[in-house]
Chains A and B, each alone.
Chain A
Amino acid sequence: MATTLHEPPQIDLNNISGVGNGGSINIPTDGGLRATLDHSRPTSSSAIWVAMFAICMMFAAFTSALIVRKGSSMDWQSFALPSILYFNTFLLLVSSVALEIARRRVDVFMKGARSGAERPTLWLYITLALGLLFVAGQYIAWTQLRAEGMYLATNPSSSFFYVLTATHALHVLGGLGGLLYVVYKLSNLTLRRNAMVSTARYWHFMGALWVYLMLLLWIKL
């Protein structure tokens, strides 16, 4: 049998890009800004999905822990979620919308000539602000609970509340970091579409995750 089962691929030296993006040479293949093409690191579009999967697993573990722990003994005392959480949820969802608008603008901006069109950083800043507000809101929620005497160790229900919300808040902060990175890259015209897209995906994911957590806490606490 012949060992070379595949035809040797045609080499088109004008447009080499690997199956992924191994070969980045001086032709726009990743849809980035022209200024970024030289010395650009290969991009990975699947990384963000991998990261989100890992985060899902982590919260799945917390969820199962919560369910098992609640079932394991009678000491579970439910409490009403601080109402500010609903407002925070609203903030996070709005921020997602803002980011989506920002992403579209950036897209247009990247496709069009750089000269002229002003940079769509405004919507990114709005998203950032909303995100920060969300984290602040979460902090307020914690202080409110503490005021009610619900501390981390008071009861398994409160323990899980703090653990879940804090872990989520940390990941949101990570998203904010990503946004800052995007803003910075955009400011010196070295933003690559992949960075923008991945950040957006992550941010929407954070929103979705939070909605899930709200439902979980609302049902289980």
Chain B
Amino acid sequence: MRTKSILAGVSTLLISSSLIFAGTVSGKVTFTGTPAKPKTIDMSKEPSCAKQHATPLTTESVVTGPNNGLENVVVYVSSGAPDDGQVPAQAVTYEQKGCQYLPHVLPMHVNQELKITNSDQTSHNIHPLAKVNREWNKSQPPGTPPISEKYEKPEFISVKCNVHPWMHGVFAVMSTNHYDLSKGGGAFKLPNLPPGKYTITAWHEDYGTQTADVTITGNETKDVDFTFKAKAY
């Protein structure tokens, strides 16, 4: 009993301390050169989807923001912060709407629940091409309950819909809770890092990965920027 309470006390102390001296890594992902310009997607095969897009959808494998910001880049701590094993309770959801995956890149924690919903009038077919994890291929007719899945091993999984070949997305399965997805101008933020040496990795589905090492001492914010080389084709 007493030992228990002591343990509890100690652990709370540790956690709080790690919160007190919480470093943050933030920065910006940019690109140099001229990226291939997004191709418009012709959905005429699926009228019910096509009419949901006032301006035709374009490919999302390279999404750029203002002043060379690069979006949809997964930035995460690849070493230094061992996985604390905390699986987020709430599920991440992956929506199929207008024959498009929302979001295009979906980061999630290993074993976190993944809910896949179909908001379209047509039947979709979710086919994540997993290599490390178990590959599955399920159809989801309109009006059927969401598909619930989870992945056991960290992996970047490319997702396809076999019925609508243009539909393409990514599951980024992480073994850490310290990850972020570059937004707007390519900005990202990794908060709550206890002091220590870290390797930060940035992953982009077309341009590959880049890494940077940072050391957090106490309560501070370190700036780390990544620059990818864009491919014209």
Contact between A and B in the complex (any CB pair below 8 Å): no
Q: Which residues of A contact B (CB under 8 A)?
A: none
Q: Which residues of B contact A (CB under 8 A)?
A: none
